A and B are shown apart, each in its own frame.
Chain A
Amino acid sequence: MGNEAIARGALEAGICFAAAYPGTPSTEIMEALASVAKDAGIYVEWSTNEKVAFEAAYAAAMSYVKSLTTMKHVGVNVAADILMSSAYAGVNAGFVIVSADDPGQHSSQNEQDNRWYGMHAHIPVVEPSSPRDAYKLIKAAYMLSEKYKHPVLFRSTTRISHTRQPVIFEQDIPVEKKCKGRFDRDIERWVLVPAHGRKQKKRMMEVWRKVAEDEGVEPFIRIINPGMKKAIIASGIAYSHVMEALELLGKKDEYTVVKVSLPVPLPYKPILRVLKEAQEVLVVEELDPVLEMQIKKIAYDNGVTTKICGKDIVPINGELDLDSVARSILSFEGREPIMPWKPLEPLKLEPPIPARPPVMCAGCPHRNTYYIVKTAANKAGLKDPIFTGDIGCYTLGYEPPFYTQMTSLEMGGSIGVAHGLSKVVDEPVIAVIGDSTFYHAGLPPSINIVYNKGHAVVLVLDNQYTAMTGHQPHPGTGLTAMGEPAVRVPIEKLLETMGYKTYVINPMNVKESINIVAEALKKYKDGEQVAIVSRMKCALQAVRKARKEGIRLPVYHIVEDKCTGCMVCVKLLACPAIVVPKGAKKPKILTELCVGCGLCAQVCPFNAIEIFKEGSPNWLEAWK
């Protein structure tokens, strides 16, 4: 996998320190490093958020220890403050920030192009075109960082991070690594008061100028088939699409292709050469015209009038693929896009194939909590609550039948937005946030509600892992990234200390939880500051533990004679293990998918859902 290739390359480059917060599509880089940390003799941590991870890794590089921090594209927003400052102060050892962008938004709230961050912060950006290329280029990124004593941003994308490809290793991981640092008390450099900052800026801009001047060489710029009248300049995965598209269209010999692996700042010398030789140039890049704008500037500054096309032809939204790139090339040539492949038409079915957005898994504790909170709100007479939401699997609560996520903007946003809403609207407000997200960005806004006399319930869904990205441990798990036992920081104690009356429920006990939450919501109605922590392990982890330890989980079924076909279980829970067979009047449990959480049995008004296969006597252990 591309992410594993990046991890391996960083190890070969000699890093001894790595810190990150998980986020798709970046997560597996740090997971791969964590899995070999002890053998490789390096330190790896899951930090509480991207800013904290950045600071930790940056401190290592300040102190002569090569380091790595990785994050998803929007994670860089969280770390942007220290990112900007790191470019002013520079580093004493190689320091690379991997930003894994998500064109096409496979698992993100936006598809921002983080090459802009390089431009914005004056940090060079290295961009690979395949997993194999990532493996080589991450090492080049460390060389660049060491050479200029400057941070380097390594921009991957989903189709690089999450593509598997055979990679042949070029070298071993160095046995001797510099892991012990030393801190230079270089006040002028590390204390960015205005007078120092002005001085550091000059250093930074000199680095910037030199990189653009001197680095227009392999592996950062590669020119294939030079001297043609038509040229394509491409970076990232787009380059891979271009090469295959030209091959398929039989046009390989007609084009000069420039592979740009250093899109920011774009080294102008080789680009200018190509602009002068070619009559027409097409710039192919995913998302924003970062290359195109720089290329057009190079042309303008040097009086070159070559025709340059880019985002007037190549799609600006979503990810590129072989098809869209081949179409772009034909369109650039003024031809009809006739493709070598003839797709079948979509099937005409009645009713049509339903959309299948992601759903909460069978046994997901969030389903229990949402059912409980909505029932308890009714019971407490809390009318039309607004549920602000956050980033995690529980975001799926936006779907029917729950509607318990009415916003989802950024990490920690549920609580900050809830506070503001509580100041300006009349409805009750419930902020719903996951455990990892709470540690990440939930603390300042929770304090803010109490301090500024806002009035919103803070509901933390604690499944004990950073579940969505693959169950990384966090400060509530009791484990570190390297598998060592760790202190648990109890969320309820944090909230109590802030001044919330805090209730803890186990949502597997549905009736008891409804009563507790209803009591909490009544207190909220009476004007108290209230928080609720709903704690139940992620079902995927419970199933995993059961399988590992030979625990049999109970399995439920619907007793046909008792079922009246009221569909309460179907309509209130939307569990993927409960289906209505085509044409049937009564639902059915797919027993092979049931993990025995028992929620449906507790919800059925006719007690028609019963245990079909008993679990092991200790089955509850799996959920602990």
Chain B
Amino acid sequence: MARYNILVTGVGGQGLLTLGRVVGNAAILAGIDATIAETHGLSQRGGSLIVQIRLGEGESPLIPRGAADLVIGMEVLETARRIIYANPNTRVAMNKFLWPPPLVDYPDLEQVIGKIKETGVKLYMIDANRISEDVVGSVISANMVMLGFAYAVDEGLKRLFDKKHFLQAIEKVFKGKAVELNKKAFEAGYEEGLKQT
């Protein structure tokens, strides 16, 4: 059976690796084999970053371009940059947050959203930064908001996981009071996602 491919894209420091770890732990809980390819070191310092999650039996950790079933975009320009991993059947869950790199000109939000929609992908958007700030007091949990949101809008994830798998995975990845805050962030993203389906 073909593996289920999730491409997580964003800017180094937005919590992409943590998001990947939560999905990885959820996969173990759900009894699904998985590989999660991360990038570390210099590329983590505010650069363009992707995490490649492949669910189902297999060892090759890299997603071919065009083979992503789900794209989780933590930032708008990075989502646009990595759209080449998608195909017209891909679902794209995107944080409505455009974070320009310093000292350069960039396309505006409406234009980027328009172009992504033109490709035919199923685009779902959420202001995960704001929701994270509302729920936990800072943007730090925007990644869990995005994961909850993606889970709500993506049929593929729903087929593979129960919601409890993610909540239990959050308990494994975070410590102390961060556990409850991140569960709340996940739930808030999930609620918002349900409204859009």
* Residues 24-39 of B contacting A (Cβ, < 8 Å): 24, 27-28, 33-39
Q: Determine whether the beta carbon of B48 is less than 8 Å from that of A24.
A: no
* Residues 292-348 of A contacting B (Cβ, < 8 Å): 319, 321-323, 326, 339, 341-348
Enumerate chain B residues within 8 angstroms of A342, measured Cβ to Cβ: 66, 87
Q: Determine whether the beta carbon of B40 is less than 8 Å from that of A358.
A: no
Identify the interface centre among A107, A163, A580, A592: most chain B CB within 10 Å of its CB: A163
Q: Determine whether the beta carbon of B116 is less than 8 Å from that of A347.
A: yes
Task: For chain A, give the interface size range.
Answer: 35 or more
9 A-B pairs besides A106-B41, A344-B83, A344-B119 with CB distance below 8 A are A322-B64, A323-B64, A341-B65, A349-B115, A350-B107, A400-B103, A575-B102, A582-B109, A592-B129
A349 to B108, CA, bound (A): 9
Q: Specify the main secondary structure of chain B where it touches its partner.
A: loop
Identify the interface centre among B59, B67, B100, B105: most chain A CB within 10 Å of its CB: B59
Question: Would you list the 3 A-B pairs with minimal beta carbon distance, nearest first?
Answer: A107-B41, A343-B66, A24-B41
- Tally A-B pairs: CB < 8 A: 211
Given contacts A352-B107, A361-B45, A579-B99, contact A166 B34 (CB under 8 A): yes
Q: Determine whether the beta carbon of A244 is less than 8 Å from that of B35.
A: no
A357 to B47, CA, bound (A): 5
Enumerate chain A residues within 8 angstroms of B129, measured Cβ to Cβ: 592
A interface footprint on B84-113 (CB within 8 Å = 1, 0 otherwise): 111110000000000111111111110110
List 17 interface pairs A-B (beta carbons < 8 Å), by A numbering: A163-B35, A164-B35, A165-B59, A165-B61, A166-B28, A237-B61, A244-B58, A322-B60, A339-B66, A343-B66, A344-B86, A346-B84, A347-B80, A350-B107, A357-B48, A400-B103, A592-B133
Enumerate chain B residues within 8 angstroms of A353, measured Cβ to Cβ: 77, 80-81, 106-107
B residues neighboring A (CB under 8 Å): 2, 11-13, 20-21, 24, 27-28, 33-48, 58-67, 77-78, 80-81, 83-88, 99-109, 111-112, 115-116, 119, 121, 129, 133, 138-139
A344 to B67, CA, bound (A): 10
A468 at the interface (CB under 8 A from B): yes
Q: Determine whether the beta carbon of B87 is less than 8 Å from that of A344.
A: yes
Q: Which residue on chain A has the smallest CB distance to residue B53?
A: A164
Enumerate chain A residues within 8 angstroms of B41, measured Cβ to Cβ: 24-25, 106-107, 468-469
A18 to B178, CA, bound (A): 33
A247 to B57, CA, bound (A): 12
Enumerate chain A residues within 8 angstroms of B84, measured Cβ to Cβ: 343-346
Enumerate chain B residues within 8 angstroms of A590, measured Cβ to Cβ: 99
- Nearest CB in chain B: distance from A102 CB, A: 9
